[in-house]
Amino acid sequence: MPAWISSAGPTLTTVLGAFIAALGAFSKSEHDLRSKIDSGFRPSRIPAAAILIGTMLSVVGAIWSGQNQTTSATHRAQFEHDLRLKSDQIATLTGQIAGKSDEIARLNGEIAASVTGGNEFVYLEPLLAEDQNRLFLIVVHKEAILFTT
């Protein structure tokens, strides 16, 4: 079935049914008026049948429309469920990416510290001497030794 029929079909069926029922009602009123004026007029069931057929078409269109709304609601609920799952997956992956980013930043800090000296510093410690010559001890303080020279 073409897509336009499934989307516009219920509306067209309901409108067509209402139109046929309205024509049947109009012809029934004309029929009743003519039967009062003309005593030889033979009664017909065609207007009543048109009203019945139009009403039935309108009911079928309404039921069809309700079925489409139910199907649409089911599809929408499934879509929202899938979207929620994808959002949760994205949130999880975003958290993992943030963790990796923090790890990369920490490693970059360690690399920069190893190149620039980081927390390494040097100081002179004076030694006690008995004569005028002073001796100093050079002390190098390092957080971690990466290499030796």
Residue 79's pLDDT band (cuts 50, 70, 90) = very high
pLDDT digits (tens, 9 = 90+) for 1-12: 666 566 677 888
Residue 31 lies in a domain: yes
Residue 39 lies in a domain: yes
SS3 139: strand
Residue 148 lies in a domain: no
Residue 71 lies in a domain: yes
CB contact set of 134 (below 8 Å; sequence gap of 6+): 126, 127
Residue 52 lies in a domain: yes
Residue 147 lies in a domain: no
Residue 16 lies in a domain: yes
pLDDT digits (tens, 9 = 90+) for 93-137: 999 999 999 999 999 888 877 776 666 777 777 777 677 677 777
Residue 62 lies in a domain: yes
The structural domain count of the chain equals: 1
**This prediction's pTM:** 0.43
DSSP H or E stretch at residue 125: strand 121-127
- The whole domain housing 53 covers 3-141
Backbone phi and psi for residue 45, each to the nearest 5 degrees, phi listed first:
-95, 5
Q: Mean pLDDT score of the chain, rounded to an integer? A: 80
